[in-house]
Structure 1
Amino acid sequence: MGAVGVSDPAGDSELSYGKSGFKGLVAEPYLFFLACFASIGGVLFGYDQGVISGVLVMSDFAKQFPTLSTDDTLQGWMVSVLTLGAMFGALANGPIADAFSRRWSILLANVIFQIGSIIQAASINIPMIFIGRFIAGLAIGQLSMVVPLYISELAPPNLRGGLTALQQLGITVGIMVAFWLNYGTQYIGGTGDGQSPAAWRFPLALQCLFSLVLGVGTFYLPYSPRWLMMKDREEEALSTLSRIRRVPQNDHRVQTEILEIKASALFDRETIAATYPGITSPVRLSFESYKSLFVLPHLNRRLVIACLLQLIQQFTGINAIIYYAPQIFENIGLTGSSVNLLATGVVGIINFFSTIPAILFLDYFGRKSLLLVGAVGMGVCQFIVGTIYAVYKDSWGSHTDAGWATAVFIWMYISCFAFSIGCVNWIIPSEIFPPGVRAQAVGIAIGVNWLSNFIVALITPRMLNSIEFGTFYFFLGIYPFSPPLLSLYPIYLSKQT
């Protein structure tokens, strides 16, 4: 297969920068490194999601905060308050990313994340935990919005899907590291009453290290060429584009791409001037940009698609498993903190390795194909898990083989999620909107993701205790809504997608 020409849904015409998939990624080591480094933001996201599930079942944590370990409602709020903060962070970061650049908004998010992480690790009472998780959530929301946006604006059309999917790979790395770190640190001082506070404080403190690495590295990341052009820094935009494409500035592909970026920026600027004559206030213009997403039909339809995709992703129940995996495995008869944390660790490994095919083949097979295949696989696994749960819910102790069979299908469900909607939902919002409102639109879409995440995290503990196997059937009910949504968005994407 030779070099591919891809029609860029973000506004580029036919540009050929090489092959898609694995060969294309190998041929662009500098761009691949930049995307991987920026995806440390995803590591923070995944780590903070994954670490809390292991902390909740540790003996010393239960001793320090007995109310949290016994009150399902309070436990749900503790887990979900991070997602509530993330929703506000994602919504607020659109104007910040436009005003100060994608690059510096990543740095700001890391500063906020450090504060939240330190408060969590040093918590001596429940309010400190809640405040720390909310502050960390603000930063995670910012990063979850700006990292895929930043990567998509750096990437050439033929690699945009794979490189943007590195955000999801970063999330799976964070979850995997958190799960296995929890498995190891539970032995500090023993797993019973003698367990040391370091067993849960150390995992919460370690996330500061990842944030510090990304924060320092931000000073070495390039600006997005599209953002530079938005700020009338045309020469710098051309220089940056040439550097990240690794071709001379006079190369016809770079010249074509920079002209398209310039034309897009000029079109947005003139459209805003014509639509809102006499308005020069950045705050008012930002408000009007948000307003246009809801009142202009062509933008409103795209926003509905982007937001519904985020809602569906969360109501497949993925984070019900990520947040509460140890409790779920314990409920199905995998007793003992070591056993259920080990089973939880397998979730992290499968999640990580199942994301890799999406990075390699997403630009080859397309977004829609992977979404459909993943939806079918996830639906089948959810149905089987719910059915086994219903049959053996009162006799797990004498049917350990049924418990392990349930665990296997949970792992298969994780795999199907990872290569499909787990990756695609980060890519679509940054592809289907014009540059002038892209940051605001992505912020709203990711904000909906976090709001849905918040609801799932809040209701899952009570669902697992009250309707038990019905929890899986509840999340299974969302799958019929996927095909109608998938039929809506291809008009906004290239043939490649």
Structure 2
Amino acid sequence: MAVRDDAHQALTPSGTASSTAKDSASPEVYRRLRLITVIATFGGLLFGYDTGVISGALPFMSLSAEKGGLGLTPLTEGIVASSLVLGAAFGALYGGRLADRHGRRRTILGLAVLFFVGALGTALAPGLEVMVLFRVLLGLAVGGASATVPVFIAELAPAEHRGRLVTQNELMIVTGQLLAYTSNAVIARTLGEGGVWRWMLAIAAVPAVALWIGMFFVPESPRWLASRGRFDEAASTLARIRDARVVDAEFAEIRSRVAADADRPQAGWQDLRTPWIRRIVTVGLGLAVLSQLTGVNSIMYFAPTILLDTGLGTQAALTATIANGVVAVIAVSTGMWLLGRFGRRPMLLTGQVGVTVSLVLIALCFLLLPQSSVRSYLVLASMLTFLLFMQGCIATVFWLMLSEIFPLRLRGFAMGTAVFGTWMANFVVTLVFPPLIDAVGGTTFLIFAAVNVATFFFYLRTIPETKGRSMEAIESHFRRQFAA
């Protein structure tokens, strides 16, 4: 499906400019928004830690039971890693619906409890079956957070600050991954082998408690309150996070959009019968799925395994993996800065070119060079280049666009559906990567590169620009753009 030829242009038709586009947050108000964002994005920190920690835990979980491990094989490694991802798919699907029904804030509070239980359950698991059970439970929390937190922040943020505030969640995700890689290396070095993986997994319980406590001090989304007819509470909340001079105009815009949807039934699959909704959900789902087929999670989840295959030892591989986390944090921080100067679309396309070239370089290192320290560090350098483009360009834009392109009435449902696609694609990649690289080696990365070439042309054809518009203006644009 393609949009019209002007899909790549900014959303600037007459009447779509937001009344909140300028100066809607003074320094004091912006600081308040930043604090709210930091608290909410502890969900992103947990997302990052719980997905990243498994990369360092797997080598020790693969040891025999006598040595403190679970005796995992390449297949069961894939099952353990992918079980969280499968849970995340359904967590996103139903988390979005819960956020529409019960509110963004209350949903995140519930997810914090799941994060805590899942972290302790995986750390104490006596065997494979219990480990997979709690990894699925933890995945429900990860998926729910991935669908709810970006939407929550986007609905709180003024248009001119939405890019920076929403991408704070991506910064927290990669920070969580960096913390996972660092703590894995430190724990492995200080505690040795055996059951060290249990400590690696247990640490995630701490930020789960911080998220749960912090969310009691965060307001509910004014857009969600308005969608439930609670206009007085919505206006009161908006007054807390906007300057007084713009509150009335933005509240009127929100109320007008809610009134337009007042006679429609609860959001659900029946909405896909409407052409413009079906098309924008298709674009969002394509963006969600293809972002995972870049191969990013084969690198984030299995970096030590990849480096072990190049000839590095276990401890050296774990230590080298910290560089992945550092580069990811730097890349996202840079991406947040670039978003203020460039549009979503050029960053996304640039990222696709970068990750494709990086994957080809990784493949060539495996296929053309003998096993040596030189090959190990060339592979690591190519992985870091991949992450610069992936985290700095694609990931920052991906989560931001998903949070802003869907209409208010079905935002949680549509976001959950798209992120379900994200996690199902992630699940497939995570499950097949260990046996695939064991079977065909570096050719695996050429397969990912080919997928990324096709993805570039899909984005070129379908992804519009959304920078600088209010969420209501974006919705009005898509109603016109996809009306035919």
TM-score if structure 1 supplies the norm length?
0.87
Contact 1:65 1:126 in 2 (8 A): no
1:205 counterpart = 2:202: yes
Distance in 1, matches of 2:444 and 2:106, equals: 41
Distance in 2, matches of 1:347 and 1:19, equals: 37
Shift of 1:17: 3.6
1:338 counterpart = 2:340: no
Change (3 A) 1:471 1:66: farther
Distance in 1, matches of 2:27 and 2:306, equals: 38
Distance in 1, matches of 2:11 and 2:35, equals: 22
Match of 1:430 in 2: 403
| Residue from 52, 65, 68 that aligns with 1:50 | 52
Find the residue that maps to 2:229 and give its secondary structure: coil
Give 1:457's aligned amino acid: T
Distance in 1, matches of 2:132 and 2:305, equals: 21
Match of 2:124 in 1: 122
Distance in 2, matches of 1:492 and 1:349, equals: 30
Contact 1:45 1:171 in 2 (8 A): yes
CA deviation string 1:428-453 (max 9, x = no partner): 12222210011100000000000011
1:480 counterpart = 2:465: no
Deviates more, 1:106-115 or 1:171-180: 106-115
Counting only pairs closer than 5 Å after superposition, residues 16-27 of structure 1 correspond to structure 2 as: 16-18=21-23
Contact 1:116 1:131 in 2 (8 A): no
What is the percent sequence identity of the aligned residues?
30
Change (3 A) 1:258 1:340: same
Distance in 1, matches of 2:160 and 2:67, equals: 51
Contact 2:345 2:465 in 1 (8 A): no
1:310 counterpart = 2:285: no
Give 2:303's aligned amino acid: A
Shift of 1:403: 2.1
Shift of 1:490: 4.8
Contact 2:92 2:419 in 1 (8 A): yes
CA deviation string 1:342-380 (max 9, x = no partner): 111110111111100122221430111111111111111
Match of 1:282 in 2: none
Counting only pairs closer than 5 Å after superposition, residues 17-166 of structure 1 correspond to structure 2 as: 17-18=22-23, 28-58=30-60, 62-63=64-65, 69-166=71-168
Counting only pairs closer than 5 Å after superposition, residues 205-224 of structure 1 correspond to structure 2 as: 205-224=202-221
Match of 1:412 in 2: 385
Distance in 1, matches of 2:399 and 2:27, equals: 19
Shift of 1:426: 0.9
Match of 2:176 in 1: 174
1:13 counterpart = 2:18: yes
Ranges of 4+ aligned residues in structure 1 off by more than 6 Å: 5-8, 24-27
Find the residue that maps to 1:173 and give its secondary structure: helix
Find the residue that maps to 1:187 and give its secondary structure: helix
1:421 counterpart = 2:394: yes
Counting only pairs closer than 5 Å after superposition, residues 434-453 of structure 1 correspond to structure 2 as: 434-453=407-426
Match of 1:276 in 2: none
Counting only pairs closer than 5 Å after superposition, residues 229-378 of structure 1 correspond to structure 2 as: 229-245=226-242, 247-248=243-244, 251=245, 253-270=246-263, 272=264, 285-286=265-266, 289-333=267-311, 335-378=312-355
Where structure 2 has 5 or more consecutive residues not aligned to the other structure, the ranges are: 1-9, 475-484
Shift of 1:459: 0.3
Distance in 1, matches of 2:247 and 2:278, equals: 32
Distance in 2, matches of 1:90 and 1:256, equals: 33
Distance in 2, matches of 1:239 and 1:127, equals: 49
Give 1:102's aligned amino acid: R
Distance in 2, matches of 1:442 and 1:165, equals: 16
Where structure 1 has 5 or more consecutive residues not aligned to the other structure, the ranges are: 273-284
CA deviation string 1:83-120 (max 9, x = no partner): 11111111111221122110000001111222211110
Change (3 A) 1:330 1:490: closer
Change (3 A) 1:25 1:368: farther
Find the residue that maps to 2:262 and give its secondary structure: helix
Find the residue that maps to 1:202 and give its secondary structure: helix
Instruction: Provide the aligned C-alpha RMSD in A.
Output: 2.5
TM-score if structure 2 supplies the norm length?
0.90
Match of 2:371 in 1: 396
Give 1:326's aligned amino acid: P
Find the residue that maps to 1:15 and give its secondary structure: coil
Match of 2:437 in 1: 464
Shift of 1:12: 6.8
Shift of 1:60: 8.3
- Aligned residues between the structures: 460
Contact 2:151 2:404 in 1 (8 A): no
Distance in 1, matches of 2:55 and 2:464, equals: 40
Give 1:147's aligned amino acid: V
Find the residue that maps to 2:21 and give its secondary structure: strand
Contact 2:354 2:389 in 1 (8 A): yes
Deviates more, 1:348-357 or 1:26-35: 26-35
Q: Which has the higher contact order (CA 8 A, sep 6+)?
A: 2
Give 2:30's aligned amino acid: E
